[in-house]
Amino acid sequence: MELLMAIVIGVLFTAAVYLILSRSLLRIIFGTGLLSHGAHLLLLTMGGLGGTSPPVLAEGITDYADPLPQALILTAIVISFGVTSFILVLAYKTYSKHQTDNMDLMRGNDEHD
Amino acid sequence: MIFFPVLAAIFVPILFRKLKSIHTGWFVLIIPITLFIYYTGFIQTTMNGGHAISSLEWIPSLDISFVSYIDGLSLLFSLLITGIGALVVLYSIFYLDKTREKLNNFYVYLLMFMTAMLGIVQSDNIITLYLFWELTSISSFLLIGYWYTRDGSRFGALKSMLITVFGGLMMLGGFVLLGIMGDTYSIRELIANASNLVGQEFFILALVLVLLGAFTKSAQFPFYIWLPDAMEAPTPVSAYLHSATMVKAGLYLVARFTPVFAVSEVWIWLVTGIGLLTLFWGAFFAVKQTDLKAILAFSTVSQLGLIMSLLGASAISYHVDAGTALFKFAGFAAVFHLINHAVFKGSLFMVAGIVDHETGTRDIRKLGGLMGVMPISFTVAFIGSMSMAGLPPFGGFLSKELFLTSTLALKDFNLFNFSTWGIIFPIVAWIASVFTFIYSFYFVFKTFAGKRKKESLSVEPKEAPVGMLIAPVILAVLVVVIFFIPNVVGDTLVNPAVVAMQAGLYSHPSEVLVHVSAWHGWTPELLMTLGIIGLGSILFLTMRKWQPLYNLQPELLSLNGLYDSLMMAGEKGMNRLSRLYMTGVFRTYLIYMFVSIVVITLATLFIKDAFKVDFNSFAPLNAYGILTAVLLILSVVMILTAKTRITAVIALGGVGYSVAFFFVIYKAPDLALTQLVIETITVVLFLLAFHRLPELKRHGESKGFRLGNFIVAAGVGITMALVALSAHSQKLIPSISQFYKDTVYSEAGGGNIVNVILVDYRGFDTLFEIAVLSIAGIGVYSMIRLKLPGKGSTDESK
C-alpha cells in the first residue's frame, strides 16, 4: 500500500509543481491546492499505514492507527484552507487591478530595484 | 594616558562654539605638549633597559585588555607622535581659518587619530592593537575627506580607506592565527615563545598576513597608490599623518614583530625585497610629478621603502653570530632614519603648505623664483631637501651612509642565496639614491630658484606669517642639530628602540655599539655618496631633456589604472552577475528553489546511502485504495489538461474528495470529515469567485517551456516519492504515539485520541491554527473591502 501511496504522492507533487511553474495565476492556485494534498498524504504515509481501527478508544482493541500524524494533518488542512482562500482573493484582487493573470508580466520594474 | 586626546576631544566642539574669538587650536595645542613632556619622563627608564607598563581591563574573560607597554620602541614613536603632533597643531592654527573652516571637526578627528596612534605603538595586546589600527584608518579617512565637498577628497579618502582596511583585516587574520598558535594575545609573551611558533603549520601564513597589514599601511609596493591621492587632505594632515606618523605604523609593526618572525627566511626576503622595490619605485616616479605634495608623497613612499628594507636587513642579525655586527647596524640605521625622515618630511610638507597658502598653487610648473620673497621658507625647504637627498651637514646624510653600509653588507651575507642575489641590493639602493637626489633638488630649486613667473600666479607671493613658520623652523633646526649630535640621539632614543626591536640579542641599550660620526674615513659608502652627487647633478641639470620620457608610460598600465579598472570591473561585474540571476520573474526563482530541493535531497539520500525500501513493513494492498488512487490520478490529469475553469475547479474537488477517501481507508475519521467539509467550502469559494477570475490561458507557453517545467516538476515528484518510501522504511526510534494511546483516558479523560491530542496534549497548535484562520478571514475581508485606486476600482462594484 505504501508503494501505491508513494506513487500518488509523486503524481500530486509533479502536477503541483508543474502548475506552479506556469504563467497563469489561476493555475498556480490550483497547484498550491494540489501541493497541500500531496503534503498531507506524505505525512500520513510516513507515519505508517498500518492499524486496523481508527484511533478512538474502544474495548478490546489494541491495534489503533497512529493518531499523531492525523492530528498534525488536521491542523495542516485547516491552515492550508486559510491560506488557499486568502490567495484566491489575492489573485482576484490582482487580476482586477492589473487586468492580467500572466505572471511574466508581473515583475518589479526598474524604479523599484 | 593613551585615551587623553580622545577624551579631551569631547570639549573641542564646546570650545569651538562658546569661544569664537579664540582659535580652537590653541586649546588643542595643550594636549600634545602635555603628553610630550609626560613621555620624555620615560627616557631615563628606557635608557637603562627598563620599561613601564600599565593596564586597563576590558574583556578579561577573553583575555583582552588594554595593556600599555612602554619600551624604547614605543617611547620613540610616542615622542614622535606627540612632538610632531604639537608642531602640526601649532601650524594648523595659522593654516586653517577660524571663521571659514569647521575647526571642531578637524580637531576632533586629529585628536582621535592621536589616541589611535599612541594606542598602536603602546599596545601589548594584539587585539587592542588591531582596534587602534582601524581607528587610525577611520580617522585618516575622515581627515582626508575633510573638505568633503570636493570630488578629489572623497575619492582619495575612499581609496585609502579601502586599501588600508583591506590590509587591516588581513592583519587581523594574522593576529588571530598568532594568538591561537602562541596561546596568548600578548606581544611580549609571543616574543618569548617565538621559538615554539616557528615550526607551526600556519606560521608562514600568519607572517604574510601581518606583513600585508604593514605594507598597506606604510604604503609599500604595490599598495602605495593611496598615498598620493591622500594629498587632497589639508596640509597639516598630510604633514602629520602621511609623513610622520600613520604611514610609520606599518614600520612599527614590522619592527615590533621582528623578534617573532625574523627567524623565517620569508620574512627577510619579503621585507627587504619589497622595501627596496618601493624605495626605487617611489624615487623613480617622484621625479615625474608636478604637484609639490605629490612629489613629497612619492618621496615618502620611497623613504618608507628604505626604512622597510633596513628593518628586513636587521632581521638577519638573528641568523648570524654576534661577530658580524653589520646587521645590527641595519636596525640602528632604520630607527635613526625613521627619526630623520619624520623631522625633515614634516618640515617639507609644511613648506609646501606655506607655498600653497601664499601663492595659491602647488603646481611646480607655475612656481619659481620665490627665494627672494620667501627667504625663511626657502631656507627650511633647502635644509629639508638636502637632508632628504642625504647631504652633509644634515641629519639625512648620516642615515644615508648607514643605509649604504648596511646594503653593502648584504651582499657578503651568505645565507638563503643572498650571496648570489645580494649584489643587486646595493646597486638598486644606489640608483634609488640618485633619483632621491634629483627629486630633492627638483623640489627645492624649481620652486624657489629661477625666474619669477608673475603671469601664472593669481596672487602676489609674500612671506608667510611668523606663526606659520615656527613649526617648520623648529623642525629644520632639529635636522641640523641631529647631524651634529647624532650620538646623543642615538643613546637616548635609538639604542633603546633597537634593543626592543631585536629582543633577545642585547641585554642593555649600552651594548648597541654603533657610533655614528659625520666623518668616518674613505669608506666605500662615502665614494658611493660622491657618485650619487655627481650623477645626480648631471641628471638634474639635464632634466628638462629627459623628464618628458615619463609621459610615455600609458596611464592604463600604471597601478592606479589597475586599481581603477579593478574597481570598475568589480562594480560592473557584480551588477551584471546579479542582473543575470535576478530576473524579476517569479517562475525563475521557483525553478532555483525546486532544482535545489531536488539536487540537495537526492544527493544527500545517495551520498549518505540513506535510501532504503523495506517491503516487509508495508501494509497490504487493498482494492479500495487502488480505486481511490486511480480516481485521484485521473482528477489530477483532468486539472492539467482542463481547457475551461469550471472543469479544473471540479477536478480539484475530485482530488480533494479522493484524499478524503484515503483518510477513510486509513482509519482517520476526523480527517475525512474535515477534508470533506473543507474541500466543499474550497470548491464553493472557487465558484463564488468564479466569474471574476481570469480565464485559463496558456499565455503562449511554448512546448520547450512546458517540457522544462515538466522535467523540474517530475524531479520534485520523484524526489518526494522516494522520500516517502525511505522515511517510512527506516524508523530509527519508536513513535511516541504509544504514550498517547496508553494515557488518553487515564490522563486526559477522553476517548478520541486525535481530538485529545489536538485540544489537550498539543493544544497550542490548535490555538494558533485558530489564529491563522482568523487572520486569513480578516485578510480576505479587508482585501475585498479595500478600495484600490486606479483601473480596477470599477470592477469591484459588481
* B646 vs A: CB within 8 A: no
As beta bridge partners, residue B65 has: B57
Output Rg (C-alpha) for chain A, integer angstroms.
19
Interface test with chain B among A13, A43, A103, by most B beta carbons within 10 Å: A13
Q: What is the pLDDT of residue B796?
A: 40
| Inter-chain touch B670–A74, beta carbons under 8 Å | yes
Please give the residue of chain A at the shortest CA–CA distance from B666.
A49
Q: Do B632 and A56 touch (CB under 8 A)?
A: no
Range with the poorest average pLDDT among A108-112, B142-146, B758-762:
A108-112
* Bridge partners of residue B385, in order along the sequence: none
- What cell numbers appear for B640 in the block? 492539467
The yes-or-no verdict on residue B580 having pLDDT over 80 is: yes
Question: Does A40 contact B at CB distance below 8 Å?
Answer: yes
CB contact under 8 A, B714 and A14: yes
Would you call A32 an interface residue with chain B, using a CB distance cutoff of 8 Å?
no
pLDDT at B396: 82
Residue among B720, B737, B754 minimizing CB distance to A10 = B720
- Check pLDDT > 80 for residue B730: no
Out of A15, A49, A78, the one facing B666 most closely (by C-beta) is: A49
Quote the pLDDT of residue B791. 45
Nearest beta carbon to residue A68 from set B698, B728, B735: B735
Contact A68 B622 (CB under 8 A): no
The phi and psi torsions of B730 (rounded to 5 degrees) equal: -130, 110
Window 50-109 of A: residues touching B by CB (8 A cutoff) are: 50-58, 64-68, 70-75, 77-79, 81-86, 88-93, 95-104, 106-108
Instruction: Name the one residue in this structure whose C-alpha cell is 598576513.
Output: B209
Residue from the list B594, B621, B773 with its beta carbon closest to the beta carbon of A82: B773
Which among B665, B671, B766 is the top mutation candidate for probing chain A, defined by the most A β-carbons within 10 Å of its own β-carbon?
B671
pLDDT at residue B326, as a whole number: 64
Q: How confident is the model at residue B485 (pLDDT cuts 50, 70, 90)?
A: confident
The pTM is what? 0.79
pLDDT in tens, B106-134: 888 999 999 999 999 999 899 999 999 99
- As a whole number of angstroms, the distance between CA B304 and CA B565 comes to 27
Task: Using pLDDT thresholds of 50, 70 and 90, give the confidence band for residue A113.
Answer: very low
Task: Report in angstroms the alpha-carbon separations of B36 from A39, B31, B81, B272, B376.
Answer: 75, 9, 8, 32, 27
pLDDT for B519 beyond 80: no
Minimum CA–CA partner of B710 in chain A = A18
Contacts of A23 in chain B (CB under 8 A): 587, 698-699, 701
Q: What is the rounded distance in angstroms from the CA atom of residue B433 to the CA atom of residue B435? A: 5
- Shortest distance between the Cα of A36 and any Cα of chain B, in A, equals 10
Question: Cα B702 to chain center, whole Å?
Answer: 51
**Which chain A residues are within 8 Å of B712, Cβ to Cβ?**
17, 21
Mean of the per-residue pLDDT values of chain B: 84
> A14, B716: Cβ pair inside 8 Å?
yes
Q: Which residue of A has its CA nearest to B634?
A: A11
Residue of B nearest to A83 (CA): B776
Determine whether the interchain pair A4/B625 forms a contact, defined as Cβ–Cβ distance below 8 Å. yes
pLDDT, one tens digit per residue, over B735-773 is 788 888 888 888 888 888 899 999 999 999 999 999 999
| Contact at CB, A107 and B586, closer than 8 angstroms | yes
Task: State how far Cα B139 lies from the chain centre.
Answer: 13
The rounded percent of chain B whose pLDDT value lies above 90 is: 24
B767: contact with A, CB 8 A cutoff: no
Nearest CA in chain B to A23: B699
Q: What three-state secondary structure class fits A56?
A: strand
CB contact under 8 A, A107 and B689: no
Q: Inform me whether the pLDDT recorded for B261 exceeds 50.
A: yes
Q: How far apart are CA B631 and CA B683, in angstroms?
A: 18
Q: Give the 3-state secondary structure of residue B41.
A: coil
- DSSP letter assigned to residue A111: G
Q: Which of B555, B103, B651 is nearest to B285 (CA)?
A: B555
CA distance B571 to chain A (A): 16
Mutation target among A29, A42, A45 for the B interface, most CBs of B within 10 A: A45
Nearest CB to B740 within list A1, A67, A74: A67
Residues of B in contact with A110 (CB under 8 A): none
d(CA B629, CA A49): 15
